[in-house]
Amino acid sequence: MTDHVVDLPPSPPAGQRIAPASGWRGFVSDWASDQTSFKGVSWGKAMMWVFLLSDTFVFGCFLVAYMTARMSTTVPWPNPSEVFALTIGGQSVPLILIAIMTFVLISSSGTMALAVHYGYLRDRRKAGALMLLTALFGACFVGMQAFEWTKLIHEGVRPWSNPWGAPQFGSTFFMITGFHGMHVSFGVLFLILMARKVLRGDFDTGRRGFFTSRKGRYEAVEIMGLYWHFVDLVWVFIFAFFYLW
């Protein structure tokens, strides 16, 4: 598909070949050109970004709804620092489980970034192993979230009431963390599928995908990574606004 590139005169570095202008000049000429605005960006990556943008609005709406509920209630909001405390060795440590979940998710983002790196170096063993490690961290995170949900439900938290204060606490908690946990779960699933493709060498042998019947490229690892980092990114905001505020 890109054979035509070969017969161009001395090939300048990537991206520049397609749209030489950079900075604001390039910004204007990119948007003013026909066919594609995102020069040097494959459709797969562009579509993932568009999806992530729409997902940003979904989570943005959840967090805005939470803000509205918390600001407008006349009943005190439960103190997350105490609600999510765990008793370790007879001592109550505030928010400790959430902190551990945060570190686990950040670690998974780190391993994913390395997986993308080794994917582009065409080191399929390292890339695949790192993706599986990422999936393991993700599964770990979901497990801890399940533990947290179980604990809170045992303590009497329901979407319509809870023992500590404003009843909206339960509904926003289950909605926001549940939706995020679902994203992590799907991410784990796709990570395992993608790791299998990478380890089997699909992107080296040009094996066609079961679903798309098209050959894949190592860029698929980066696109998978975009999704995974986004899930981590959303958690950064949930951690700040829901758990710490």
Partner 1 sequence: MSATTVHADPHANPNVSSDAPVADEAHQHHPVRLYFAVWGWLFVLSACSYMVDYIGLQGWLRWTLIVLFMLLKAGLIVAIFMHIAWERLTLIYAILLPPLLVLVFVAIMASEANYTLLTRVLYLGGGP
Contacting partner 1 within 30-59 (CB under 8 A): 30-31, 33, 35-46, 49, 52-53, 56-57
> Which residue lies nearer to partner 1 by CB, 31 or 154?
31
Q: Binding partner 1 by CB under 8 A: which of 86, 97, 120, 144?
A: 120
Number of neighbouring beta carbons within 10 Å of residue 199: 15
Shortest distance (Å) from residue 234 CB to partner 1: 10
- Pairwise CA distance, residues 18 & 217, whole Å: 20
In the list 109, 162, 168, 172, the residue contacting partner 1 (rule: CB under 8 A) is 109
Please tell me whether residue 24 binds partner 1 under the rule CB under 8 A.
yes
Q: Quick check: 92 binds partner 1 (CB under 8 A)?
A: no
Is residue 144 a contact partner of residue 105, using CB atoms and an 8 Å limit?
no
Contact in structure between 203 and 216 (CB atoms under 8 Å): yes
Closest Cα to residue 107, out of 228, 242, 234? 228
Alpha helices (runs of H) in the chain, residue ranges in sequence order: 23-32, 43-72, 80-83, 96-120, 124-154, 168-200, 202-205, 219-238
Min separation Cβ 103 and partner 1, Å: 6
Name the minimum Å distance from CB 178 to partner 1. Answer: 21
Q: Give the range of 61-69, 146-154, 156-164, 203-211 binding partner 1 by CB under 8 A.
A: 61-69
Site for partner 1 in 180-209 (CB under 8 A): none
3-state secondary structure 204-221: HHCCECCCCCCECCCHHH
103 binds partner 1 per the rule CB under 8 A = yes
Q: Does residue 14 touch partner 1 according to CB under 8 A?
A: yes
